[in-house]
Amino acid sequence: MAAPKTAVSDAKQERVRRRRRQVLQAATRLMQVSGFHSMSMQAVADEAKMSVGLIYQYFGNKEDVLRAVIVDILEDFRDEVPAALDAAGADPVKRLSNGFRVFCQVVDAKRAATVLTYRESKTLTPEGLEQIKHLELETTEPIRQAVRDGVEAGVFADVDAELVVHNLLMCAHGWALKHWHLSEYLTLEQYIERELAMLLASIRPAG
Amino acid sequence: MAAPKTAVSDAKQERVRRRRRQVLQAATRLMQVSGFHSMSMQAVADEAKMSVGLIYQYFGNKEDVLRAVIVDILEDFRDEVPAALDAAGADPVKRLSNGFRVFCQVVDAKRAATVLTYRESKTLTPEGLEQIKHLELETTEPIRQAVRDGVEAGVFADVDAELVVHNLLMCAHGWALKHWHLSEYLTLEQYIERELAMLLASIRPAG
Amino acid sequence: MAAPKTAVSDAKQERVRRRRRQVLQAATRLMQVSGFHSMSMQAVADEAKMSVGLIYQYFGNKEDVLRAVIVDILEDFRDEVPAALDAAGADPVKRLSNGFRVFCQVVDAKRAATVLTYRESKTLTPEGLEQIKHLELETTEPIRQAVRDGVEAGVFADVDAELVVHNLLMCAHGWALKHWHLSEYLTLEQYIERELAMLLASIRPAG
Amino acid sequence: MAAPKTAVSDAKQERVRRRRRQVLQAATRLMQVSGFHSMSMQAVADEAKMSVGLIYQYFGNKEDVLRAVIVDILEDFRDEVPAALDAAGADPVKRLSNGFRVFCQVVDAKRAATVLTYRESKTLTPEGLEQIKHLELETTEPIRQAVRDGVEAGVFADVDAELVVHNLLMCAHGWALKHWHLSEYLTLEQYIERELAMLLASIRPAG
DNA sequence: AATGAATGAGACTTCATTCAT
DNA sequence: CATGAATGAAGTCTCATTCAT
């Protein structure tokens, strides 16, 4: 009796996952274009090729969809950035460089989504806000650790790791937030190279 | 006969200015709390202690209010930041330092407003967007020039002035955008000092 | 003491008349274009080159303006049509013909105004309605009398004068009401000639 | 699988038809009383016993409702008048007489609606206006043909069919437009008889 | 599980009317 | 006498959410 129940349960969970993904992708597409408030639930349903009623079986309300969209985006960051660090070996400089490089690349791939998180975060409930703050910290934690390691090892000056990571984050996000300006004279690769040079210069041990 | 006419005209212009200011202040207060879309025109009217109809005598529509609010904020920046540089003498390092310091101080004084510009800019029409992009460039132009001067004088490395200013801007804005995190362990002064140290380190001429 | 008072009174009455006329002309122009409800009092004020407040010194409210506009139009008809008959001599056929001809010409000259009376009459209060009904009867009364005279004299068949005048009225108004169609293939003169021929044929004594 | 699909589709189409009819009847009732502009969408919803929102599922906007109301009225005319001619045999006099008689009867049955079309047509967009002009021509076309036939057969004088139909139309509409006056001394039947007599007299062959 | 018709609150905006100057 | 700034009620339309099928 347990087996079929679980099988059914699995199938159900799989459908739930699929449906939620459909909705999130549709909502993300729409919000990137015109923001949360201009997106109607009917439009989400159309884009997701399902009925409005069905969305409400998988999400409590419209704000719940927003929260899920933003969390979804930030989870992508959290999954991809640390993973890149694992592949970067032990050298703090390399880990930091790789972290920044990957971060910028992910931001570039999800530029509209990145801007979206800045645009709509304040619309969330306090709980939602807490969740996304936690996710951001999780995402950057491995880089933070790399900076601490580098400081300890003496390859970096005695800088505030928290602040270095903050700068690195703003710098990566900056590529999306100020893309209208930056893209006029820089490619992503140029941006990464030059910013990285300045970033490393800013924390190299005093000569 | 010209005199009274002018007097009347002056009184009228003064009232227009006062009314617009009333509306903008009310709208800014409300938007900082809950965003553009959650702010009803009735709420603005109540907050500004006037009738809804009157708002429409001074602003074409709701989006026009938003544009004016954002422009108002950015004009404050444009007026205060360059003014601080004028008082900083000729030394590029001093000018850059002062620019950054003042920028951060103004951001801190208008933290909610700064966040607001990031949150609602995309809601604007293309014309509004152009206007605010222009204002941002105007605001930072004197700093950009200071960097160029420093590079030319050899007190800075041969860095991309555009990019340095971009970093400086993101850094100042970052104080508002990530205040929930930064304020847990830093005061504004500490933030300015440490960021300034890294900023200068990042562009000091190679040993 | 009576003399200057009367002089003042006369000057005042003259101004009142002038102001009212300004308003009525402006309102008529605007209503002909887009109807009573789409016409704002501010627009009337602008068109009449005076302030909104002043309109309210000469008219009780917006509907009062409408009533006056329609009455004004109908008074024109009442003044011009009977006057033409006075000049037509005693022959009933001539009087009828002239009456119709003039009626059509006045309608043509005030086509938009004629349509306006059909469009907006129902908007009036019952009193206003009574007034315009009375004016319409007054306008056509001389023609009605001409028909009665003609019947009595045996130059017309024993027709219902009331109905003949009704037909004549609808026919004249018809030039304005169906101008979109009639003007495609008839000039006003052709319309008058042909309609007059049929009108007279319809009431000539049985051969 | 096709069967249930069609059944569903049929049920849906039926509901759409029913809803639209509900709205149109409610709106017609209200407009006949107080005109298009004085009719609020909330009032239509109340009268139609549905919610405002639902009206907008079946009509694009308020003007769309007006257009549909007028078209609905004119389609009734177009359906009933020509049908009566089909039953009137081949004799042009009989066809013309029947056409006029039926026209007047339909006008009488829809007196308020007839007045409504004169009152509110100008409120329509150019497209709506074109549509109703076309409907009016369609409605009268069979009568126009009967007149042409009569002229050709020599039972009518060589009159302008277009103009005869125009007169007939104005005459039928006149029963509604001037009902306040006509009904004081005539029944519908009397009106039809007398007008018909004059109409035929006006086009009988000379001598 | 899935649909989408239906609801109704609430948003923006206009405009007739008043009244202090 | 004349102005036009100010009011606020009322209108149109949208859209999140529910629920019968």
pLDDT band at C12 (very low <50, low <70, confident <90, very high): confident
Average pLDDT of span B34-58: 97
Query: Are C33 and C82 in a shared domain?
Result: no
CA D194, D198, D204: angle at the middle one, nearest 5?
A: 140
Q: 3-class DSSP state for residue C78?
A: helix
Query: Are D140 and D189 in a shared domain?
Result: yes
From the list C129, C130, C142, the residue with the least C-alpha distance to C103 is: C142
Answer whether C167 sits within 8 Å of D195, measured CB to CB: yes
The answer to whether A88 touches A98, Cβ cutoff 8 Å, is yes
Query: Are A38 and A91 in a shared domain?
Result: no
The answer to whether B173 touches B118, Cβ cutoff 8 Å, is yes
What contacts B48, CB < 8 A, 6 or more positions away?
B22, B23, B25, B26, B27, B55
Average pLDDT of span D54-62: 97
Q: Which nucleotides in chain F lie less than 7 Å from some protein C-beta?
A: 1-20
Residue after which a domain boundary falls, among D30, D60, D90? D60
- Give chain C positions within 8 Å (CB) of D35: 122-123
Answer whether C119 sits within 8 Å of D115, measured CB to CB: no
Average pLDDT of span D61-88: 92
Answer whether B170 sits within 8 Å of A169, measured CB to CB: no
From the list C188, C148, C156, C150, the residue with the least C-alpha distance to C172 is: C188
Q: How many domains does chain D have?
A: 2
What CA–CA distance (Å, rounded) separates B111 from A189?
32
Tens digit of each residue's pLDDT (9 = 90 or more) over A14-68:
899 999 999 999 999 999 999 999 999 999 999 999 999 999 999 999 999 999 9
Query: Are D31 and D56 in a shared domain?
Result: yes
Number of A:B CB contacts under 8 A? 92
Average pLDDT of span C103-125: 93
Q: CB distance from A205 to chain B under 8 Å? A: no
Q: What crossing angle do the helices spanning B111-120 and B62-86 adopt, rounded to 10°?
A: 130
Average pLDDT of span B125-132: 90
- Give chain D positions within 8 Å (CB) of C164: 198
Residue after which a domain boundary falls, among A59, A86, A105? A59
- Give chain C positions within 8 Å (CB) of D125: none
The answer to whether B63 touches B124, Cβ cutoff 8 Å, is yes
Tens digit of each residue's pLDDT (9 = 90 or more) over B11-26:
888 999 999 999 999 9
Q: What is the pLDDT of residue D5?
A: 53
Q: CB distance from A37 to chain B under 8 Å? A: yes
Task: Kindly determine whether the C-beta of residue D12 is less than 7 Å away from any atom of nucleic acid strand E.
Answer: yes
Phi (first) and psi of residue D35, to 5 degrees: 85, 165
Protein residue nearest nucleotide F18, by CA to C1': A53
Domain that holds residue A113: 61-207
Q: Is the pLDDT of residue D2 over 60?
A: no
Q: What tokens were used for A3?
A: 């087996």
Q: What tokens were used for B96?
A: 């850059």
Query: Are D106 and D180 in a shared domain?
Result: yes
Q: 3-class DSSP state for residue B153?
A: helix
- Give chain B positions within 8 Å (CB) of A202: 198-199, 201-202
Query: Are B104 and B170 in a shared domain?
Result: yes
Query: Are A106 and A165 in a shared domain?
Result: yes
Query: Are C66 and C101 in a shared domain?
Result: yes
Query: Are C56 and C124 in a shared domain?
Result: no
Q: What is the pLDDT of residue A1?
A: 43
Tens digit of each residue's pLDDT (9 = 90 or more) over D129-188:
999 999 999 999 999 999 999 999 999 999 999 999 999 999 999 999 999 999 999 999
pLDDT band at B1 (very low <50, low <70, confident <90, very high): very low
Identity of residue C177: L
Place of tokens 């950009």: B144
CATH (domain of B166):
1.10.357.10
CATH (domain of B19):
1.10.10.60
From the list B12, B14, B18, B11, the residue with the least C-alpha distance to B48 is: B18
- Give chain B positions within 8 Å (CB) of A198: 159, 163-164, 167, 202-203
Q: What is the pLDDT of residue B2?
A: 41
Q: Residues C120-141, buried b or exposed e (16+ Cβ, 10 A)?
A: bbbbbeeebbebbeebbebbbe
Residue after which a domain boundary falls, among D12, D37, D60? D60
Please state whether B41 falls in left (phi above 0), alpha (psi between -120 and 50) or beta: alpha
Length of chain C: 207
Length of chain A: 207
Q: What tokens were used for A28?
A: 């993300």
Average pLDDT of span D119-137: 91
Nearest nt to A64, CA vs C1'?
A: F16
Answer whether B133 sits within 8 Å of A178, measured CB to CB: no
Q: How far is the CA of A31 from the C1' of E1 (A)?
A: 27
Q: Is D touching A (3+ C-beta pairs, cut-off 8 A)? A: no
Which of A2-6, A75-79, C147-151, D20-24 has the least mean pLDDT?
A: A2-6
Chains that touch A (3 or more CB pairs under 8 A): B
Measured from the Cβ of residue C6, the count of other Cβ atoms closer than 10 Å reads 10
Protein residue nearest nucleotide E21, by CA to C1': B8
The answer to whether D141 touches D166, Cβ cutoff 8 Å, is no
- Computed over its alpha carbons, how large is the radius of gyration of chain A? 20
Q: Is the pLDDT of residue A173 over 80?
A: yes
Query: Are C184 and C120 in a shared domain?
Result: yes
pLDDT band at C207 (very low <50, low <70, confident <90, very high): low
The alpha carbon of residue B207 is apart from the nearest alpha carbon of chain A, in Å, by: 7
CB contact residues (below 8 A), chain D span 123-152, against chain C = 123, 133, 137
Phi (first) and psi of residue C2, to 5 degrees: -70, -40
Query: Are D26 and D54 in a shared domain?
Result: yes
What CA–CA distance (Å, rounded) separates B39 from B48?
13
Q: Residues A104-133, buried b or exposed e (16+ Cβ, 10 A)?
A: bbbbbebbebbbbbbbbbbbbeeebbebbe
Q: How far is the CA of D24 from the C1' of F13 (A)?
A: 18
Q: What is the pLDDT of residue C89?
A: 84
Q: Is the pLDDT of residue B102 over 80?
A: yes
Answer whether B198 sits within 8 Å of A195, measured CB to CB: no
From the list C63, C173, C165, the residue with the least C-alpha distance to C110 is: C173
Q: What is the pLDDT of residue D63?
A: 96
The answer to whether B70 touches B130, Cβ cutoff 8 Å, is no
Tens digit of each residue's pLDDT (9 = 90 or more) over B59-101:
999 999 999 999 999 999 999 998 988 888 889 999 999 999 9
Query: Are A102 and A194 in a shared domain?
Result: yes
Q: Is the pLDDT of residue B5 over 80?
A: no
For CA atoms D54, D55, D58, D59, the dihedral sign is negative
